[in-house]
Amino acid sequence: MNEFVSPVIVLNALDDVAVARRSIPAGGPTGYRDLLARDLIGRGHKVAIKPIAAGHEVRKYGQIIGLATQDIAPGAHVHLHNLSMLPSEHEHQFCVDIEETGMVPLAERRTFMGYDRGLGGAGTRNFIGIISSVNCSATVSRYIADYFNRLGGLDGFDHIDGVVALTHSTGCALNNKSEGYRLLIRTIQGYARHPNFGGILMIGLGCETNQIGPILEHYKMEEGDRLRTMTIQQHGGTKKTIDAAIAIIKDMLPVVDAARRTPQPLSKLKLALECGGSDGYSGISANPALGHASDLIVRHGGTTVLAETPEIYGAEHLLTRRAVTPAVAQKLLDRIDWWRDYTARNGDELNNNPSHGNKQGGLTTILEKSLGAVAKGGSMPLKAVYEFAETVTEPGFVFMDTPGYDPVAVTGQVAGGCNVICFTTGRGSVSGFKPSPCIKIATNTDMYEHMREDMDLNCGGIVTGDETIEQSGERIFEHILAVASGQKTLSEIYDYGDNEFVPWQVGAVT
């Protein structure tokens, strides 16, 4: 920690609170003028820097994060005991904060070394995927993958990153005209087309609701060298299916292994922007740093995809101001309205956040959490809004409607075509997401040092005053290009990421 840096961070001149860089004991100096802490202020937590009357709005980032439930004196800890949520109500303005994008000239744009899949884009990895159409084929799919990954089936094929079994807990007992069914088949086809796969084998049981044939027909997919299908009942049981599937994948191996990395433009890079296990530093360090990296990706012609609709709730007005057209802004608000209805009819509400770990880390309301989460999206114009797992086709900064639950959110982004993931975390999220490499970015140095085997990058220097947001963002940008070109993330080194394929289950299971 830089000894000349104040113990607290004041983010905006309008703010009523500051954020502690480190724990401040009761009676200790806050570094804000001559203010002393009245209570213990944990690192990442908020301290009042002005008198706040009961019932008055409280501001952080220059934005409202809640209402004071009692009089709060300067120096007091501001958290769950004296700050409450209020309904998110904003007068939305469309398309008023669109900045000049400052696109880098074509001749100067960066590239990455990727696998050219033709019209299918460019892969950052070269996997073979086994997709279960239904949970009933999950065990068989995993047995097949284990043969190649753990029993020597890939020996001699050094240019294949592995065989991924994409299994899930649904696929039957749902209406094939329902919203949940549409989300499932959209997700499956998105993975089947993903450029990080050199080959795909889809396996069903045979009698399930989610039949493979209609998926192929609906999305105009045809079997061939890259895509094969089968069912367990067709082949006469599990053992015969496993043997037949191993033979099919063995036929794929030489073709998939022949792929080589070549220079690819960043227009073929789609980056998922994700955060999980957030803390009081997320919106101060890693998220805005990733936002700067996102801006750099866009300026070089790439695409970045922000998601987690429940975790932009209360900050959506910042995105509608950046929308390129009123229609884009309205589509975002329509998805917020869908979520209000969805949570209400399920006896829930959008205000059920933050999580237990978020609160321990200093976050109090979903408004506060959302304002920090939106920072991952940088400052570029919002070009499009996509529904869950829709194929992302618009270059630039876009948004995808997903739950805030990380495995489901990232599954949607990857189904949309994201071939690299950046995942910021303050508490220490550890997931991998095959087939796309996942870069873990720590918000604070203490957690980074404690969990170094899982964290790829540290943005804690922003908190300590040793690094600027821009410097950290440029480090992230360079690391993204290195990972896209083949450098392994820590989750890949440890071979994590086999269990994070989690399609969004919506609707009745009958």
What pLDDT score was predicted for residue 92?
77
What pLDDT score was predicted for residue 1?
54
Q: Is residue 110 part of a domain?
A: no
Q: Where are the alpha helices (DSSP H) in 388-434?
A: 406-415
478 lies in the same domain as 345? yes
218 lies in the same domain as 362? no
What pLDDT score was predicted for residue 260?
98
C-beta of residue 232 within 8 angstroms of C-beta of residue 80: no
Residues in the chain: 510
Q: Is residue 94 part of a domain?
A: no
What pLDDT score was predicted for residue 361?
87
What pLDDT score was predicted for residue 276?
93
Strands 438-442 and 122-123: unpaired
CA 481, 487, 488, 489 torsion: positive or negative? negative
What pLDDT score was predicted for residue 348?
85
Q: Is residue 108 part of a domain?
A: no
312 lies in the same domain as 433? yes
439 lies in the same domain as 374? yes
Total domain count, the chain: 3
C-beta of residue 288 within 8 angstroms of C-beta of residue 469: yes
Q: Could you identify the residue written with the tokens 């618009």?
A: 394
- pLDDT tens, N- to C-terminus, the chain (510 residues): 555 689 999 999 999 999 999 999 999 999 999 999 999 999 999 999 999 999 999 999 999 999 999 999 999 999 999 999 876 666 777 777 777 678 999 999 999 999 999 989 999 999 999 999 999 999 999 999 999 999 999 999 999 999 999 999 999 999 999 999 999 999 999 999 999 999 999 999 999 999 999 999 999 999 998 999 999 999 999 999 999 999 999 999 999 999 999 999 999 999 999 999 999 999 999 999 999 999 999 999 999 999 999 999 989 999 999 999 999 999 999 999 999 999 999 888 877 667 888 889 888 888 899 999 999 999 999 999 999 999 999 999 999 999 999 999 999 999 999 999 999 999 999 999 999 999 999 999 999 999 999 999 999 999 999 999 999 999 999 999 999 999 999 999 999 999 999 999 998 888
C-alpha span between 231 and 248 (Å, rounded): 13
224 lies in the same domain as 295? no
Which of 84, 108, 138 corresponds to the end of one domain? 84
Task: Please name which of 340, 365, 314 lies closest in space to residue 69, comparing C-alpha atoms.
Answer: 365
386 lies in the same domain as 287? yes
Q: Is residue 472 part of a domain?
A: yes
365 φ, ψ to 5°?
Answer: -130, 160
**CB < 8 Å & 24+ apart, contacts of 337-343:** 338/401, 339/309, 339/310, 339/313, 342/506
Q: Is residue 499 part of a domain?
A: no
Q: Is residue 459 part of a domain?
A: yes
Q: From the CA atom positions of the chain, what is the Rg in Å?
A: 24
238 lies in the same domain as 294? no
Task: Kindly list the distances between the CA atom of residue 338 and the CA atoms of 183, 220, 344, 366, 502, in Å, as whole numbers in the listed order.
Answer: 15, 29, 10, 18, 21
44 lies in the same domain as 141? no
473 lies in the same domain as 359? yes
Q: Is residue 267 part of a domain?
A: no
What pLDDT score was predicted for residue 352?
65
368 lies in the same domain as 439? yes
**Which residues constitute the domain of residue 339?**
280-493
254 lies in the same domain as 300? no
Q: Is residue 91 part of a domain?
A: no
CATH number for position 146: 3.40.50
Token code pair at residue 440 = 């873990």
251 lies in the same domain as 285? no
CATH number for position 52: 2.30.130.110
